[in-house]
Chain A
Amino acid sequence: MQNLNSLIAAYAAAWLIFFGYHYTVARRLSQLREEVEKLKQSIGKRSR
């Protein structure tokens, strides 16, 4: 294959951006889900 390094660099960059972004969104989602649970529990305890 000609220009193999450039081809690998381009595909690696694309994958890194797509999955790096997917990972950050998934992490933020997981943190927010935990926060929602904690807040619901805290409100539940107070109302008892």
Chain B
Amino acid sequence: MTGKYEGGAFMQAVRSFALSAIVFSAAYAALAIAPTELKQGDIQRIFYFHVPSGMNALLAFTVACGASIYFLIKRNVKADWLAASCMEVGVAFGSVVLITGPIWGKPVWGVYWKWDARLTSTFVLLVLGLCYLLLRGLIEDPERRSVVSAVFCIFAFLDAPLVYFSNRIFRTLHPKPVILGDSDSGLAPPIARVFLYCFIVLAILMIALIWERYRLEELRHEVAELRAESDSA
């Protein structure tokens, strides 16, 4: 390998190993170090991956929306690449939320799913994220793809505040927030410490994935330019 991608495969392996190690350490903290919650028992340990995944997914969608607005104003293609990367990673994190949630819900609520405001708005956000990715794949012209994707991303993001406020405003089967919630909300210190660690680890994982996905867009662009150069030679 040459140029800015030199040593790519080796560095990729190092990054993969480091990411696996920190995610494993977070799982160990959640499963072995965190205390057993008194009401729910061990099933509550899903909380340590479910909630941070949801928070990071919302962060990724927020950055995607910001990058899309920036793209529409400045027409900077790098902002479009960042938006696409954040949306794809946001969908991956959102999928974790929508799969681990029902697995946690069944033993606690007695049902896997209920179409309440929180669950429905989260489901809609994930579907909109998938539509965004599908839309990008369908439009061939790069400029048109970037503009349409940016507009759709902003439209999709309109659902994000609804996800955040749904269990604060409406009565839902999903519990009230324990983080940034009412005055009686909050976590016991031993639970809060493990939660914070898991959140930081998943945030690092999210940033690493966005960065790799962004490099993918860069390389696609480089391949397109080299193909054009090759055809004209």
Contacts and interface: CB of A to CB of B under 8 A. Distances in A.
B51 to A, nearest CB: 12
Interface string A32-48: 11011101101100110
A2 B16 contact: no
A10 B100 contact: yes
B212 interface: yes
Interface stretch (B38-46, B75-83, B129-137, B143-151): B38-46
Contact of B95 (A9, A17, A22, A26): A17
Contact of A10 (B46, B220, B223): B46
B15 to A, nearest CB: 9
Interface in B42-67: 42-43, 45-46, 49-50, 53
Interface of B is mostly: helix
B21 interface: no
B209 interface: yes
Interface residues of B, number: 45
B215 interface: yes
Interface of B: 1-2, 5, 8-9, 12, 16, 19-20, 23, 27, 31, 41-43, 45-46, 49-50, 53, 89, 92, 95-96, 99-100, 103-104, 106-107, 205, 209, 212-213, 215-216, 219-220, 222-223, 226-227, 229-230, 233
A1 B216 CA distance: 42
B226 A3 contact: no
Contacts of B233: 43, 46-47
Interface of A is mostly: helix
Contacts of B107: 3, 6
A29 B104 contact: no
A28 B5 contact: no
A1 B2 contact: no
Instruction: Give the 7 A-B residue pairs with the shortest CB-CB distance, closest first.
Output: A39-B226, A32-B219, A3-B43, A10-B100, A10-B103, A2-B41, A1-B42
Given A6-B106, A6-B107, A28-B216, A40 B2 contact: yes
Contacts of A39: 223, 226-227, 230
Given A25-B216, A29-B215, A14 B43 contact: no
B96 A14 contact: yes
B230 A11 contact: no
A25 B209 contact: yes
B226 A43 contact: yes
